[in-house]
A = this chain, B = another copy of it.
Amino acid sequence: MYLGVDLGGTAIKVGLCDVEGNLLSTYEGPTGTEHGSDVVLENIAQYARKIVSESAYTWEQVAGVGAGIAGFMDIPEGFIKLSPNLGWRNVPVKRILEEKLGKPVKIDNDANVAALGEAWAGAGKGYNNLVCYTLGTGVGGGIIVGGRIYQGFNGMAGELGHIPLVPDLEAVDCGCGKKGCLETVSSATGIIRMAKEAVERGEHTSLALVESIMAKDVFDAAKTGDETAIRIINRAALYLGKSMAIVSVIVNPQRFIVGGGVSKAGDILFEAIRKYYRECAQETSQEGVDIVPAILGNDAGIVGAAGLNLRS
């Protein structure tokens, strides 16, 4: 059995998986971010023991624990350098959790872990070469080769949200300090920004009636035929499709998997991504290649984290 931990800023989700990546049970509790890293790591340990004690399995049957965390980290060392949403700097997560739990612990960033979850037990099952996008507040990415996360030289591979591709004239600043990154357009933040700008420009759109626009409002408006909303989703899809054309000549995956909140826009988003991919990608990168939604939803992070000890 493998334990997976999805460590978020407000909630810790813990799951128990078998060796096939089947999620047998889950538990969710508060992170306790405000109490600092010691308390958060103790919470993880408690939730982990709790979920096992309430299951049909014993603690001895747990072969390893994995955790997905947003932030910059030294993955082999299991060391968080900086996690803005937890407010952490230099926290040796692997060492502390191994002491508390007496099990091997591995950590990785949240987007890589979600990609591994989909590869292991989700939309990528059985595929050797996969690229996963997680469209949330930002755009995360993960590259899976032979069932394992491809890390690159210092763990920065698959940072798909920071592919610079918006033309200079239309590019806006990205949180990373550069301009024109994919996530300035194709994340929830990018979609909300474009919607607010359209309203401010006085476009005739039902979004003008929404008090505090969320990405979901834009999807809902698009489904009722709102032209502004459709144009915004198209623009998010355009850069996703272009980025996939770029990714395809570099890593040549067989399947692109798209998950995260923004992927819930559904067919209107996926059909547009596929159209732009067909337009932009080399023919040789299209035959036998598809673009599909993630299927594990919020569980991808737990399942992938559980898989870290088996598949990294």
Which residues of A approach B to under 8 Å, CB–CB?
Answer: 72, 128-129, 143, 145, 150-160, 162-165, 167-168, 176-178, 242, 245-254, 280, 282-285, 287-289
- Whether A178 and B251, one on each chain, are in contact in the complex, defined by CB atoms closer than 8 angstroms, is no
- Whether A152 and B251, one on each chain, are in contact in the complex, defined by CB atoms closer than 8 angstroms, is yes
20 CB-based A-B contacts, threshold 8 Å: A72-B284, A145-B150, A151-B252, A152-B252, A152-B253, A153-B252, A153-B254, A153-B288, A153-B289, A154-B252, A156-B252, A156-B285, A157-B250, A158-B252, A159-B282, A160-B250, A163-B246, A163-B250, A165-B165, A246-B250
Given A178-B280, A282-B162: A156 in contact with B249 (beta carbons within 8 A)? yes
* B residues near A285, Cβ cutoff 8 Å: 156
Please measure, in the bound complex, the distance between the C-alpha atom of A153 and the C-alpha atom of B129, giving whole angstroms. 6
Please measure, in the bound complex, the distance between the C-alpha atom of A249 and the C-alpha atom of B178, giving whole angstroms. 13
Please measure, in the bound complex, the distance between the C-alpha atom of A158 and the C-alpha atom of B250, giving whole angstroms. 5
- Whether B154 and A249, one on each chain, are in contact in the complex, defined by CB atoms closer than 8 angstroms, is no
Tell me if A's interface is mostly helix, strand, loop or mixed. loop
Please measure, in the bound complex, the distance between the C-alpha atom of A155 and the C-alpha atom of B252, giving whole angstroms. 8
- Whether A153 and B128, one on each chain, are in contact in the complex, defined by CB atoms closer than 8 angstroms, is yes
* B residues near A242, Cβ cutoff 8 Å: 164
Please measure, in the bound complex, the distance between the C-alpha atom of A160 and the C-alpha atom of B252, giving whole angstroms. 11
Chain B residue, CB-CB nearest to A248: B156
* B residues near A282, Cβ cutoff 8 Å: 156, 159, 162, 176, 178
Chain B residue, CB-CB nearest to A129: B153
* B residues near A284, Cβ cutoff 8 Å: 72, 154, 156
Please measure, in the bound complex, the distance between the C-alpha atom of A244 and the C-alpha atom of B282, giving whole angstroms. 19
* B residues near A150, Cβ cutoff 8 Å: 145, 251
Please measure, in the bound complex, the distance between the C-alpha atom of A242 and the C-alpha atom of B164, giving whole angstroms. 9
> Given A154-B288, A158-B252, A159-B249, 6 other A-B contacts at CB below 8 A?
A72-B284, A154-B252, A163-B250, A164-B242, A165-B165, A177-B283
* B residues near A152, Cβ cutoff 8 Å: 129, 251-253
* B residues near A129, Cβ cutoff 8 Å: 152-153
Q: How far is the CB of A178 from chain B (nearest CB, A)?
A: 7
Q: How far is the CB of A45 from chain B (nearest CB, A)?
A: 30
> Looking at the complex, which one of B163, B177, B252, B288 makes contact with A249 (CB distance below 8 Å)?
B163
Please measure, in the bound complex, the distance between the C-alpha atom of A162 and the C-alpha atom of B284, giving whole angstroms. 11
Please measure, in the bound complex, the distance between the C-alpha atom of A165 and the C-alpha atom of B243, giving whole angstroms. 10
- Whether A247 and B245, one on each chain, are in contact in the complex, defined by CB atoms closer than 8 angstroms, is no
Please measure, in the bound complex, the distance between the C-alpha atom of A222 and the C-alpha atom of B150, giving whole angstroms. 41
* B residues near A151, Cβ cutoff 8 Å: 252
Please measure, in the bound complex, the distance between the C-alpha atom of A151 and the C-alpha atom of B157, giving whole angstroms. 16
* B residues near A168, Cβ cutoff 8 Å: 167
Given A167-B167, A289-B153: A162 in contact with B249 (beta carbons within 8 A)? yes
